[in-house]
Amino acid sequence: MRLKDKVALITGSGSGIGKSTALLFANEGACVIVNDLSEEKGVETVKEIEDMGGNAIFIQADVTNPASVQSMVNMIIDQFGRIDILFNNAGISGVGRLHEIEADAWDRIMAVNVKGVFLPSKYALPYMMERKSGSIINMSSCIAEIGLALRASYAATKGAVLALTKSMQVDYAPYNIRVNALLPGTIITPFVEDYLKNSYDDPEEAVEGLKKRQLSGDLGRPEDVARAALFLASDEAKFMMGSPLYIDGGVVSGKNA
C-alpha cells in the first residue's frame, strides 16, 4: 500500500503505460482518476480496477483543451478535495523527417504532448501549492536525449517536456512539490504497434531491429514503466527532484558508449 489514500490523476490511462500505471496505483491503495479521450477505454480501465477491489473513476477530457482540463480538475477537487499525484502521460506519436511533416501534424503533436502536460499541471498546481504537497510525473522519452531517425516532431515534444520538468521543479520546490520525468525506451503498447504498422513493410522484422537497439536485447512492457511511475509518485522518491528517470533497457547508455 505505497499510495494508500492518495488521489492520483493519470492522463491517457485508457491504454498502454497509463492503463498499466492506473492498475498498479490502485493496487497500491490510490484512488485513481482515469482520464482519456475514449470513454470506452477509460471505463474499461475503471472496471478492471474495480474488479480487483480498487477505487477509480473515469473523467473524459481532452488534455489539449483548457476548458475540458479545468473542468476535469474542478470535478476532482469537488469530489476528493485534492490531487496528490498528477501523471501527465497522454501522448501521441509522430513520424517523418522534418521537411516531410505537415504543419497541422506538427501543431497536433505539440498540442497533445506538450500543451497536454502544461494544462493539467496549470490547473492542478494551485491545489497542490495550497496543501504544500504533490508529485507530478511528466512523460518524456529517451528520444529527448538521443537522435533517432524519422522522429523529429516527437523528439521535439519529449525534449520540451524534459526541459519543462526541470523548470517546473525549480518553481514549485518551495511548495514541497516534486516534478520528475520518465524517459522510457521502446515499450510494447498500442502506440508502438501502430507506429510499427504505419512505418515498416515488415513490422516483425522492425521489432527485431528495435530489440537489438536495447542493451537488454528485448523491448519494455508497460508494467516496467508503471513501476518507475509508482516509485516517483510515492514518498520513497522524496529526494528525487527534477530528475529524468530512464526505463530504456540501456538504449541511452548504449548510444553514448
Q: Indicate which residues carry an active-site annotation.
A: 154
**Are the C-beta atoms of 182 and 232 separated by less than 8 Å?**
yes
Residue 156 binds ligand NAP (CB under 6 A): no
The runs of H, that is alpha helices, within the chain are 16-27, 39-51, 66-80, 103-110, 116-131, 152-172, 190-199, 203-213, 222-233, 251-256
Residues between 12 and 31 with contacts to ligand NAP, criterion CB under 6 A: 12, 14-18
Least CB distance to ligand NAP at residue 123 (A): 14
Per-residue binding letters, 178-217, with ligand NAP (x by CB under 6 A): ------x-xx-xxxx-------------------------
Q: What is the SS3 assignment for 24-50? A: HHHHCCCEEEEEECCHHHHHHHHHHHH
Which is nearer to ligand NAP, 3 or 192 (by Cβ)?
Answer: 192
# residues contacting ligand NAP (CB under 6 A): 30
Work out which of 6, 41, 178, 213 binds ligand NAP, going by CB under 6 A: 41
DSSP secondary structure code for residue 62 in this structure: -
- Strand ranges of the sheet holding 85-88, from the earlier edge strand across to the other edge: 55-60, 31-36, 7-10, 85-88, 134-139, 177-184, 244-247
Work out which of 9, 10, 83, 91 binds ligand NAP, going by CB under 6 A: 91
Work out which of 24, 37, 124, 237 binds ligand NAP, going by CB under 6 A: 37
What are the residues facing 136 on neighbouring strands? 86, 179
- Give the separation between CA 58 and CA 55, rounded to whole angstroms: 11
Per-residue binding letters, 51-70, with ligand NAP (x by CB under 6 A): -----------xxx------
Which is nearer to ligand NAP, 218 or 235 (by Cβ)?
Answer: 218
Angle between helices 152-172 and 116-131 (to 10 degrees): 10
**Are the C-beta atoms of 93 and 194 separated by less than 8 Å?**
yes
Work out which of 5, 38, 163, 235 binds ligand NAP, going by CB under 6 A: 38
Which is nearer to ligand NAP, 11 or 169 (by Cβ)?
Answer: 11
Least CB distance to ligand NAP at residue 83 (A): 16
Phi, psi of 145 (to 5 degrees): -115, -10
Residue identified by cell 497522454 is 90
Residues of the shown chain interacting with ligand NAP in the complex, contacts defined by CB under 6 A: 11-12, 14-18, 35-38, 41, 62-64, 89-92, 112, 116, 139, 141, 184, 186-187, 189-192
